[in-house]
Amino acid sequence: MNETEFAALADKMLARIEHALEASGADLDFELAAGGVLEIEFADGSKIIVNKHAIAREIWVAARAGGFHFRYDGSAWRDTRDDEDLLAKLSRLAAEQAGEPVPLA
For the stretch 12-61, pLDDT in tens is 999 999 999 999 999 999 999 988 899 999 999 999 999 999 999 999 99
Contact yes or no for 88/68 (Cβ under 8 A) = no
In the chain the domains, ranked by start, together with CATH numbers, are 3-98 (3.30.920.10)
pLDDT at 61: 98
For the stretch 75-104, pLDDT in tens is 999 999 999 999 999 999 999 999 999 999
- pLDDT category at 1 given cuts 50, 70, 90 is confident
What pTM did the predictor assign?
0.94
Q: What is the distance between the alpha carbons of residues 29 and 13, in angstroms, rounded to a whole number?
A: 18
